[in-house]
Amino acid sequence: MTSSTKTSSIMTTPAIMITPAIVTTPSIEIPVPTEPARPAAMAADPATRQAQSPDGVAQRRREAASRAVAEAEARRAQIDERAKLAAKEGERLGRGGLDPVRYGDWEVKGITTDF
pLDDT, residue 68, reads 95
> In the chain, what are the domain boundaries?
63-89
Q: What is the DSSP letter of 41?
A: G
Strands 17-18 and 11-12, bridge-based pairing: antiparallel
Helix (H) or strand (E) holding 37: none
- For 110, what's the count of Cα atoms within 13 Å in the CB-facing half-sphere? 0
Whole-number pLDDT of residue 89:
79
Residue 82 and residue 88 in contact, taking contact as beta carbons nearer than 8 Å = no
* pTM > 0.85: no
4 burial via Cβ count (<10 Å: 0-12, 13-18, 19+): exposed
Looking at residue 54, its pLDDT comes to 78
What pLDDT is stored for residue 101 in this prediction? 60
- Classified as helix, coil or strand, 102 is helix
Q: What are the phi and psi torsion angles at 8 (to 5°)? A: -130, 150
pLDDT reported for residue 109: 66
What pLDDT score does 72 carry? 93
Q: Give pLDDT, residue 86.
A: 80
> CA geometry: angle at 79 spanning 77 and 84, to 5°?
95
**pLDDT tens-place values along the chain, 115 residues long:** 455 555 555 555 555 555 555 555 566 677 766 766 666 555 566 666 666 777 888 889 999 999 999 999 999 999 999 888 888 877 676 666 666 565 565 666 666 666 5
